[in-house]
Amino acid sequence: MKQIGIIGAGNTGANTAFFLAEKRVGRVVLQDIKEGLAIGKALDIMEEAPLARYQFAIHGTDNEQEALDSDVILLAVGAVRQPGQDRTSVWNENRTLVEAFANKLKGFQGVVILVTEPVDASVTLFQKISGMEPGKVLGIGGALDGERLRYLVSRELHCVTEDIDALVIGRHDKDMIVPQDYTRVSGIPVRYLMDQSSLHAIVQKVKNAGDIVLETSKRSSAFYAPAMVTADIIQAILNDSRRMFSVSTPLTGQYGVKDVALSIPAMVGEHGAERLFEPQLSDEQAKKFQESAAAISALVQS
C-alpha cells in the first residue's frame, strides 16, 4: 500500500491530508511536533469517512519516524508569514528546519515535496544537503500560481476553469514569469480574448494573490489552494500519471541555470519530475529567470 507522510499538521498539512482522503490516493500518516495535534485532526477527518466513503485511512501520530517511512513525504513545516511580511522574511527561521529534515532524509528513495517558505530556497537547500536526485525534490510554486491565474481568467471571461490552460514559471514571488502565449482558453491565446490592460491586471493579482489572502484574513496565509495543488501533485506521483505541472525543482542547465530550484513545466510521475521542459521565453523573461536564480542562490548561501 502506498503511503504519504505529512510532517506538519497545520492548515496546509491537515488540508492536504483531507484532500488526499477525498481523492482516495493512499494511506496518510499525519505528524506534528505539537503533542496530540495530528492525532486529533486525523480523528476529526476520519469521523466523516463513513459519509465520504474513504478507501484509505488517515493516521495521526506524534512519532515523526512513522511519517518519514513513506513513499512520498510532504514537509509542511515552518513559520508562516504575518501581514506585511514577504516570503523571505521567514527564511532564517525556516532554513534550520529544512536543514534538519534534509539531513534526516539522506538516502531517501521516494519523493519529497516542500511547501515551506520561501519554497524555491527551501527546495534548493534541501536537495543540496540531502543529496537526493534533483527531480525527486519538488515545490509547488508555479503550479499554485498557475491555478490562481486560471481562476482569475475564468472570472474575467465568465467561463469555466476547465477550459483554461495557464503557465507560470520562475520564482514563487512577484518576480514570477507569465508567458502570455501559454495561457489559453480552449486553445485560443488569452491575449485574443481580452485587452492587454485587463490581462496585465490579472497577472498583477496573481503575483499578489498570497499577500491578498494574508492581508485580508489577518490570521494566516493561504492554505486551501496550496493544499489542493499539493494533493494533486502527490496523486500524480503515486498513480504514475506523468501529468504536467510547473513545479519548483533544482535545475540541471535549463535556461542556463544549475543547482537552483525554480518552477518550470515538468512531467510528474512516480519518480517525481521525470522530464523538464523549457517554454520559449523573450529575452527579457530569460533575463528575469536568471536574475531570480541568482537571487535564490544568494539567499541560500547567506
**Same domain as 87, residue 22:** yes
Across 209-223, average pLDDT: 73
Q: Are residues 54 and 172 in the same domain?
A: no
Q: pLDDT tens-digit profile of 117-159?
A: 999 999 999 999 999 999 999 999 999 999 999 999 999 999 9
Catalytic residues: 172
- Residue 11 and residue 119 in one domain: yes
**Residues 122 and 148 placed together within one structural domain of the fold:** no
User: What integer is the mean pLDDT of 193-202?
Assistant: 95
pTM score, two decimals? 0.95
Q: Are residues 121 and 146 located together in one domain of the fold?
A: no
DSSP state string for 27-42: EEEEE-SSTTHHHHHH
**Which CATH number is 113's domain given?**
3.40.50.720
Shared-domain flag, residues 125 and 256? no
pLDDT of residue 211: 73
Least confident of 61-75, 88-102, 245-259: 88-102
Cα–Cα distance, 179 to 174 (Å, whole number): 14
Instruction: Answer whether 265's CB lies under 8 Å from 246's CB.
Output: yes
- Do 184 and 269 share a domain, yes or no? yes
Grid coordinates of 33: 511536533
107 Ramachandran zone, left/alpha/beta (phi>0; psi -120 to 50): left
Q: Per-residue confidence at 213, pLDDT binned at 50, 70, 90? A: confident
d(C-alpha 22, C-alpha 24), whole Å: 5
pLDDT band at 215 (very low <50, low <70, confident <90, very high): confident
* CATH at 296: 3.90.110.10
Looking at the fold, whether 24 and 155 belong to one and the same domain comes out as no
Chain centroid to CA 42:
22
Say how many domains are in the chain: 2
Which residue, of 115, 140, 165, is where some domain finishes?
140
Residues 55 and 126 grouped into a single domain: yes
- Radius of gyration over every alpha carbon of the chain, rounded to an integer in angstroms: 18
Q: Domain range spanning residue 16? A: 3-140
pLDDT at residue 218, as a whole number: 63
Same domain, 90 and 236: no
Domain end, chosen from 140, 158, 191, is at: 140
Output the pLDDT for position 209. Answer: 81
- End position of a domain, from candidates 140, 175, 191: 140
| 268: enclosing H helix or E strand | strand 258-269
Residues 123 and 157 in one domain: no
Tell me: do 280 and 131 sit in the same domain. no
